[in-house]
Amino acid sequence: MPEDDFYTPTDADALRMENELLAFEVEFLRARYADRERAIAEVRREAEESVERKVRRRVRNATADLRRQLAETRKRLEEAREAATIDPGRKAHLERAEKDIVLLLNMISSGPAGPLLRLKPAFRELERRYL
């Protein structure tokens, strides 16, 4: 080749160079796309883990609340059982008091103040409960 003659690429050389350039560009874009996919997958995984932690915490709290409520209910039940075992003297006293309330309500209801007292919701409630 003479000294002043420079290499000039042919059409085949130009196509080969363009093909190599496009191959590099495709490889670059695939890598970038894969990075984004990995980032999206990582964010989704972190979000799922966060939700899972929140759900587990809620379940633990709900379980603890239910256990606490169960303990309180058992305590109230035990107190109610203890209250249900009233000694006979107290029971007789309460029964006499109830009879006295019924007698007084009958006397007040049949008296001249009865119609006026029936205007009051509390008095109507007492009549409903004891008469």
Cβ contact 70:102 at 8 Å: no
pLDDT at 2 over 60: no
The per-residue pLDDT for range 12-59, each reduced to its tens digit, is 888 999 999 999 999 999 999 998 898 899 999 999 999 999 999 999
* Packed helices 88-110 and 121-130: angle between N→C axes, nearest 10 degrees: 120
Is the model more confident about 2 or about 33?
33
Q: What is the pLDDT of residue 10?
A: 87
Q: pLDDT-based confidence at 71, cuts 50/70/90?
A: very high
Distances (CA, A) of 67 to 56, 72, 115: 16, 9, 51
Q: What is the pLDDT of residue 81?
A: 85
Place of tokens 């350039």: 21
pLDDT at 1 over 70: no
Q: What is the pLDDT of residue 5?
A: 75
Q: What is the pLDDT of residue 130?
A: 86
Q: pLDDT-based confidence at 4, cuts 50/70/90?
A: low
Looking at residue 30, its amino acid is R
Q: What is the pLDDT of residue 3?
A: 64
